Amino acid sequence: MKKEIHQIHGKVETFQPTTLDQIWGDTGLGKYGTIDEEKYISKLNDMNKADLQKHAVGVGIIPTDGREGLIKKLLKEFRAHVASFRKPILKEPTKVSKNALKILSEGR
């Protein structure tokens, strides 16, 4: 049995919720079934044209005739959806001393 391998980089991933649904626990899996782009691309490639059009309507996209164009639209919307769940928490900027500001302003 093959196990999935995850790379550990030591950085704690913390993201800020951007919607009320996220505050209440929505993980973003409901609309697309995943937030992993590779899995979503694989899912799209396994669909026939009729399934793609049905999926597009389900996520709020008007289906087009061309398969490749429809996949591009779906991927664009998917990436926007995932980005809304991955807004990083920004740290407050560190205060710079007066001496450092003086040195930085010398080039003006």
Residue 50: inside a domain, yes or no?
Answer: yes
Residue 49: which residues within 8 A CB-CB, separation 6 or more?
67
Residue 2: inside a domain, yes or no?
Answer: no
CA dist., res. 30 & res. 21, Å (int): 11
Range(s) of the domain holding residue 52 = 20-107
pLDDT digits over 30-83, tens only?
778 887 889 999 999 999 999 999 999 998 888 877 889 999 999 999 998 888
Residue 83: inside a domain, yes or no?
Answer: yes
Output the pLDDT for position 42: 93
- Of 60-64, 68-72, 85-89, 93-97, the range with the lowest mean pLDDT is 85-89
- Mean pLDDT over each residue of the chain, to the nearest integer: 80
Cβ contact 52:63 at 8 Å:
yes
Average pLDDT over residues 96-103: 87
Residue 42: inside a domain, yes or no?
Answer: yes
Q: Identify the CA nearest to 81 among candidates 14, 23, 15, 36.
A: 36
